[in-house]
Structure 1
Amino acid sequence: MTVVSVESSTTSTALVLPFEVGSARKARRRLAADLRGAGVHPDDVHDALLVLSELVGNSLRHARPLPSGTLRVTWTRLAHQVEVSVTDGGGPTEPRPLELPASALGGRGLAIVDDLSARWGVRRGERATTVYAVLDLTPSR
Protein backbone atom coordinates (compact mmCIF):
# COMPACT_ATOMS: atom_id res chain seq x y z
CA MET A 1 0.00 0.00 0.00
CA THR A 2 1.33 3.41 -0.95
CA VAL A 3 -0.17 6.69 0.12
CA VAL A 4 1.04 9.95 -1.35
CA SER A 5 -0.24 13.36 -0.34
CA VAL A 6 0.86 16.73 -1.60
CA GLU A 7 0.12 20.05 0.12
CA SER A 8 1.71 23.22 -1.28
CA SER A 9 5.46 22.82 -0.62
CA THR A 10 5.10 19.63 1.43
CA THR A 11 5.08 16.13 -0.03
CA SER A 12 4.44 13.04 2.11
CA THR A 13 4.73 9.39 1.15
CA ALA A 14 3.85 6.34 3.24
CA LEU A 15 4.65 2.76 2.30
CA VAL A 16 3.31 -0.27 4.15
CA LEU A 17 5.75 -3.08 3.45
CA PRO A 18 6.28 -6.68 4.55
CA PHE A 19 8.49 -7.06 7.63
CA GLU A 20 11.36 -8.50 5.60
CA VAL A 21 14.80 -7.54 4.35
CA GLY A 22 13.66 -6.91 0.76
CA SER A 23 11.45 -4.07 1.95
CA ALA A 24 14.50 -1.89 2.61
CA ARG A 25 15.41 -2.00 -1.08
CA LYS A 26 11.85 -1.16 -2.15
CA ALA A 27 11.70 1.80 0.23
CA ARG A 28 15.14 3.10 -0.86
CA ARG A 29 14.20 2.94 -4.54
CA ARG A 30 10.99 4.85 -3.98
CA LEU A 31 12.63 7.49 -1.75
CA ALA A 32 15.46 7.96 -4.25
CA ALA A 33 13.02 8.42 -7.12
CA ASP A 34 10.95 10.93 -5.13
CA LEU A 35 13.92 13.00 -4.00
CA ARG A 36 15.69 12.96 -7.37
CA GLY A 37 12.42 13.85 -9.08
CA ALA A 38 12.10 16.85 -6.78
CA GLY A 39 15.60 18.02 -7.70
CA VAL A 40 17.15 17.29 -4.31
CA HIS A 41 20.96 17.54 -4.31
CA PRO A 42 22.58 14.10 -4.92
CA ASP A 43 24.55 14.24 -1.64
CA ASP A 44 21.31 14.82 0.28
CA VAL A 45 19.64 11.92 -1.56
CA HIS A 46 22.56 9.68 -0.57
CA ASP A 47 22.34 10.74 3.09
CA ALA A 48 18.56 10.19 3.19
CA LEU A 49 18.95 6.72 1.66
CA LEU A 50 21.62 5.79 4.19
CA VAL A 51 19.45 6.99 7.09
CA LEU A 52 16.44 5.09 5.74
CA SER A 53 18.55 1.93 5.38
CA GLU A 54 19.73 2.19 8.98
CA LEU A 55 16.22 2.78 10.34
CA VAL A 56 14.71 -0.14 8.40
CA GLY A 57 17.65 -2.40 9.31
CA ASN A 58 17.30 -1.55 13.00
CA SER A 59 13.58 -2.23 12.84
CA LEU A 60 14.12 -5.65 11.29
CA ARG A 61 16.90 -6.57 13.74
CA HIS A 62 15.57 -5.17 17.00
CA ALA A 63 11.78 -4.86 16.80
CA ARG A 64 8.63 -6.76 16.04
CA PRO A 65 6.39 -6.19 13.04
CA LEU A 66 3.18 -4.23 13.31
CA PRO A 67 0.18 -6.45 14.10
CA SER A 68 -0.43 -6.82 10.35
CA GLY A 69 3.07 -8.35 9.88
CA THR A 70 4.35 -5.18 8.24
CA LEU A 71 6.35 -2.05 8.86
CA ARG A 72 5.51 1.46 7.72
CA VAL A 73 8.07 3.72 6.05
CA THR A 74 7.24 7.39 5.58
CA TRP A 75 8.95 10.53 4.44
CA THR A 76 7.83 14.10 4.32
CA ARG A 77 9.71 16.58 2.19
CA LEU A 78 9.56 20.25 3.04
CA ALA A 79 11.34 23.07 1.23
CA HIS A 80 14.65 22.59 3.12
CA GLN A 81 14.24 19.33 5.06
CA VAL A 82 13.12 15.74 4.72
CA GLU A 83 11.82 13.65 7.62
CA VAL A 84 12.25 9.89 7.21
CA SER A 85 10.57 7.49 9.62
CA VAL A 86 10.00 3.78 10.20
CA THR A 87 7.15 2.45 12.31
CA ASP A 88 7.12 -1.09 13.70
CA GLY A 89 5.65 -3.04 16.60
CA GLY A 90 8.39 -1.92 19.00
CA GLY A 91 11.08 -3.88 20.72
CA PRO A 92 12.42 -4.64 24.18
CA THR A 93 14.88 -1.71 24.23
CA GLU A 94 14.82 2.02 23.51
CA PRO A 95 16.55 2.95 20.24
CA ARG A 96 19.76 4.89 21.04
CA PRO A 97 23.25 5.29 19.62
CA LEU A 98 25.85 3.06 21.25
CA GLU A 99 29.32 4.00 22.46
CA LEU A 100 31.43 1.32 20.79
CA PRO A 101 35.13 0.55 20.62
CA ALA A 102 36.77 1.15 17.23
CA SER A 103 37.15 -2.61 16.80
CA ALA A 104 33.37 -3.28 17.00
CA LEU A 105 31.98 -4.82 13.81
CA GLY A 106 28.43 -3.48 14.15
CA GLY A 107 26.09 -1.38 16.22
CA ARG A 108 26.83 1.97 14.60
CA GLY A 109 23.49 2.47 12.83
CA LEU A 110 21.96 5.11 15.06
CA ALA A 111 25.31 6.87 15.42
CA ILE A 112 25.27 7.25 11.64
CA VAL A 113 21.69 8.52 11.79
CA ASP A 114 22.71 10.97 14.52
CA ASP A 115 25.65 12.25 12.46
CA LEU A 116 23.68 12.74 9.24
CA SER A 117 20.48 14.22 10.65
CA ALA A 118 19.64 17.59 12.14
CA ARG A 119 17.69 15.67 14.79
CA TRP A 120 16.14 12.27 15.33
CA GLY A 121 13.96 10.64 17.93
CA VAL A 122 11.44 8.02 18.94
CA ARG A 123 7.65 8.25 19.13
CA ARG A 124 6.02 5.46 21.11
CA GLY A 125 2.38 4.54 20.70
CA GLU A 126 0.30 1.86 22.35
CA ARG A 127 1.10 -0.78 19.71
CA ALA A 128 3.75 0.90 17.56
CA THR A 129 7.10 2.63 17.75
CA THR A 130 8.30 5.17 15.20
CA VAL A 131 11.93 6.16 14.84
CA TYR A 132 12.36 9.30 12.76
CA ALA A 133 15.19 11.47 11.48
CA VAL A 134 15.06 14.98 10.03
CA LEU A 135 17.74 15.84 7.47
CA ASP A 136 18.51 19.33 6.23
CA LEU A 137 18.53 19.70 2.44
CA THR A 138 20.96 21.80 0.46
CA PRO A 139 19.11 24.90 -0.75
CA SER A 140 18.54 24.93 -4.51
CA ARG A 141 20.31 27.56 -6.54
Structure 2
Amino acid sequence: MSNACRYARPLGPLPVLGRSARAEVLGQVLVGVPSGANAAQGAREPAEGPAEPAGGVLVRWQMHADGVLTLEVTDGGAATRPLPASPSLTSRGGRGLSIVDQLASDWGVRDAPGEVTVWAALPARARHARRTGGDARSA
Protein backbone atom coordinates (compact mmCIF):
# COMPACT_ATOMS: atom_id res chain seq x y z
CA MET A 1 0.00 0.00 0.00
CA SER A 2 2.85 2.38 0.72
CA ASN A 3 4.15 1.93 -2.83
CA ALA A 4 0.69 2.74 -4.21
CA CYS A 5 0.52 5.93 -2.15
CA ARG A 6 4.08 6.95 -2.96
CA TYR A 7 4.57 6.09 -6.63
CA ALA A 8 1.22 5.50 -8.33
CA ARG A 9 -1.48 7.81 -9.57
CA PRO A 10 -4.54 7.84 -7.34
CA LEU A 11 -7.75 6.31 -8.57
CA GLY A 12 -10.40 8.73 -9.78
CA PRO A 13 -12.82 10.35 -7.34
CA LEU A 14 -13.49 8.01 -4.46
CA PRO A 15 -17.06 6.75 -4.28
CA VAL A 16 -18.93 6.76 -1.00
CA LEU A 17 -19.58 3.10 -0.24
CA GLY A 18 -22.66 2.05 1.67
CA ARG A 19 -23.07 -1.12 3.66
CA SER A 20 -24.42 -3.05 0.65
CA ALA A 21 -21.27 -2.35 -1.38
CA ARG A 22 -19.10 -3.56 1.50
CA ALA A 23 -20.91 -6.92 1.55
CA GLU A 24 -19.13 -8.05 -1.62
CA VAL A 25 -15.88 -8.63 0.27
CA LEU A 26 -15.19 -9.05 3.96
CA GLY A 27 -13.54 -5.68 4.15
CA GLN A 28 -12.37 -2.78 2.08
CA VAL A 29 -10.95 0.62 2.78
CA LEU A 30 -10.68 3.60 0.49
CA VAL A 31 -7.57 5.52 1.40
CA GLY A 32 -7.57 9.13 0.26
CA VAL A 33 -4.33 10.25 -1.36
CA PRO A 34 -3.70 14.00 -1.45
CA SER A 35 -3.24 15.42 -4.91
CA GLY A 36 0.42 15.21 -5.86
CA ALA A 37 1.17 12.63 -3.16
CA ASN A 38 2.96 10.34 -5.60
CA ALA A 39 6.40 11.72 -4.87
CA ALA A 40 8.22 9.92 -7.66
CA GLN A 41 9.37 13.24 -9.10
CA GLY A 42 9.36 15.03 -5.74
CA ALA A 43 7.24 17.83 -7.20
CA ARG A 44 4.92 19.92 -5.08
CA GLU A 45 1.57 21.38 -6.03
CA PRO A 46 1.56 25.02 -7.09
CA ALA A 47 0.13 27.39 -4.50
CA GLU A 48 -2.62 28.40 -6.89
CA GLY A 49 -4.40 26.75 -9.76
CA PRO A 50 -7.20 24.25 -10.25
CA ALA A 51 -7.40 21.48 -7.67
CA GLU A 52 -7.46 17.92 -8.90
CA PRO A 53 -10.41 15.75 -7.89
CA ALA A 54 -9.91 13.73 -4.73
CA GLY A 55 -8.61 10.26 -5.45
CA GLY A 56 -7.11 7.41 -3.55
CA VAL A 57 -6.11 3.80 -3.23
CA LEU A 58 -8.56 0.94 -2.70
CA VAL A 59 -7.55 -1.81 -0.26
CA ARG A 60 -9.63 -4.99 -0.06
CA TRP A 61 -9.28 -8.18 1.95
CA GLN A 62 -11.17 -11.45 2.22
CA MET A 63 -10.71 -14.45 4.51
CA HIS A 64 -11.52 -17.71 2.73
CA ALA A 65 -12.83 -20.88 4.39
CA ASP A 66 -9.52 -22.66 3.72
CA GLY A 67 -7.66 -20.18 5.94
CA VAL A 68 -6.20 -18.08 3.13
CA LEU A 69 -6.36 -14.30 3.43
CA THR A 70 -6.49 -12.48 0.09
CA LEU A 71 -5.31 -8.86 0.08
CA GLU A 72 -5.65 -6.45 -2.87
CA VAL A 73 -4.35 -2.92 -3.37
CA THR A 74 -5.72 -1.01 -6.37
CA ASP A 75 -4.35 2.33 -7.58
CA GLY A 76 -4.29 4.37 -10.77
CA GLY A 77 -1.06 2.82 -12.08
CA ALA A 78 2.48 4.14 -12.25
CA ALA A 79 5.19 4.66 -14.85
CA THR A 80 6.44 1.09 -14.34
CA ARG A 81 4.77 -2.23 -13.61
CA PRO A 82 5.10 -3.50 -10.01
CA LEU A 83 8.00 -6.01 -9.88
CA PRO A 84 10.17 -7.41 -7.08
CA ALA A 85 13.55 -5.68 -6.91
CA SER A 86 17.01 -6.57 -5.61
CA PRO A 87 18.10 -3.45 -3.72
CA SER A 88 21.51 -3.03 -2.14
CA LEU A 89 21.87 -3.47 1.62
CA THR A 90 22.03 0.30 2.08
CA SER A 91 19.07 1.09 -0.18
CA ARG A 92 16.16 2.85 1.55
CA GLY A 93 13.47 0.95 -0.34
CA GLY A 94 12.69 -1.65 -2.98
CA ARG A 95 11.97 -4.61 -0.71
CA GLY A 96 8.16 -4.58 -0.58
CA LEU A 97 7.25 -7.06 -3.31
CA SER A 98 10.18 -9.32 -2.40
CA ILE A 99 8.73 -9.54 1.12
CA VAL A 100 5.27 -10.23 -0.31
CA ASP A 101 6.83 -12.95 -2.52
CA GLN A 102 8.34 -14.65 0.54
CA LEU A 103 5.20 -14.46 2.70
CA ALA A 104 2.46 -15.15 0.15
CA SER A 105 1.50 -18.54 -1.24
CA ASP A 106 0.67 -16.71 -4.49
CA TRP A 107 0.55 -13.12 -5.70
CA GLY A 108 0.20 -11.18 -8.91
CA VAL A 109 -0.72 -8.01 -10.75
CA ARG A 110 -4.01 -7.34 -12.60
CA ASP A 111 -4.41 -4.49 -15.06
CA ALA A 112 -7.68 -2.80 -15.95
CA PRO A 113 -8.32 0.49 -17.75
CA GLY A 114 -7.07 3.26 -15.47
CA GLU A 115 -6.06 0.99 -12.61
CA VAL A 116 -3.58 -1.62 -11.42
CA THR A 117 -4.23 -4.16 -8.65
CA VAL A 118 -1.52 -6.03 -6.76
CA TRP A 119 -2.97 -9.01 -4.89
CA ALA A 120 -1.53 -11.60 -2.52
CA ALA A 121 -2.85 -14.83 -1.01
CA LEU A 122 -1.47 -15.33 2.49
CA PRO A 123 -1.85 -18.48 4.61
CA ALA A 124 -3.45 -16.97 7.72
CA ARG A 125 -4.35 -20.16 9.58
CA ALA A 126 -1.10 -22.06 9.67
CA ARG A 127 -0.45 -24.75 12.27
CA HIS A 128 1.72 -22.39 14.35
CA ALA A 129 -1.02 -19.73 14.38
CA ARG A 130 -3.67 -21.91 16.06
CA ARG A 131 -4.63 -21.22 19.63
CA THR A 132 -4.11 -24.20 21.89
CA GLY A 133 -6.33 -23.04 24.74
CA GLY A 134 -3.46 -23.56 27.18
CA ASP A 135 -1.33 -21.13 29.11
CA ALA A 136 0.04 -18.30 26.95
CA ARG A 137 3.59 -19.04 28.18
CA SER A 138 3.44 -22.64 26.94
CA ALA A 139 2.11 -21.69 23.51
| Smaller-chain TM-score bracket | 0.5 to 0.7
If the length of structure 2 is used for normalisation, what is the TM-score? 0.58
How far has the Cα of 1:105 moved from its partner? Answer: 2.6
If the length of structure 1 is used for normalisation, what is the TM-score? 0.57
How far has the Cα of 1:14 moved from its partner? Answer: 1.8
Q: What's the RMSD between the two structures over aligned residues?
A: 2.5
Query: Which of the residues 88, 95, 115 maps onto 1:108?
Result: 95
Show the counterpart of 1:77.
Answer: 63
> Are 2:30 and 1:16 aligned?
yes
Show the counterpart of 1:34.
Answer: none
Matches within 5 A, 1:57-96: 68-79=54-65, 80-96=67-83
> Are 2:71 and 1:99 aligned?
no
In structure 2, what is the Cα distance between the partners aligned to 1:68 and 1:101? 36
How far has the Cα of 1:138 moved from its partner? Answer: 2.0
In structure 1, what is the Cα distance between the partners aligned to 2:39 and 2:104? 21
In structure 1, what is the Cα distance between the partners aligned to 2:39 and 2:62? 24
Greater displacement, 131-140 / 87-96? 131-140
* 8 Å Cα contact 2:33-2:54 kept in structure 1: no
> Rg bigger for which structure?
2
Q: What secondary structure does 1:95 align onto? A: coil
How far has the Cα of 1:61 moved from its partner? Answer: 5.9
In structure 2, what is the Cα distance between the partners aligned to 1:60 and 1:134? 26
Unaligned stretches of 5+ residues in structure 2: 1-15, 41-52, 132-139
Greater displacement, 118-127 / 11-20? 11-20
Which amino acid is the alignment partner of residue 29 of structure 2? L
In structure 1, what is the Cα distance between the partners aligned to 2:39 and 2:119? 17
How far has the Cα of 1:107 moved from its partner? Answer: 1.0
Deviation per residue, 1:20-62 (Å, 9 max, x gap): 5xxxxxxxxxxxxxxxxxxxxxxxxxxxxxxxxxxxxxx9566
Which amino acid is the alignment partner of residue 131 of structure 1? V
Distance 1:131 1:60, change over 3 A: farther
Number of positions where the alignment pairs a residue of Structure 1 with one of Structure 2: 95
Unaligned stretches of 5+ residues in structure 1: 21-58
Which amino acid is the alignment partner of residue 108 of structure 2? G
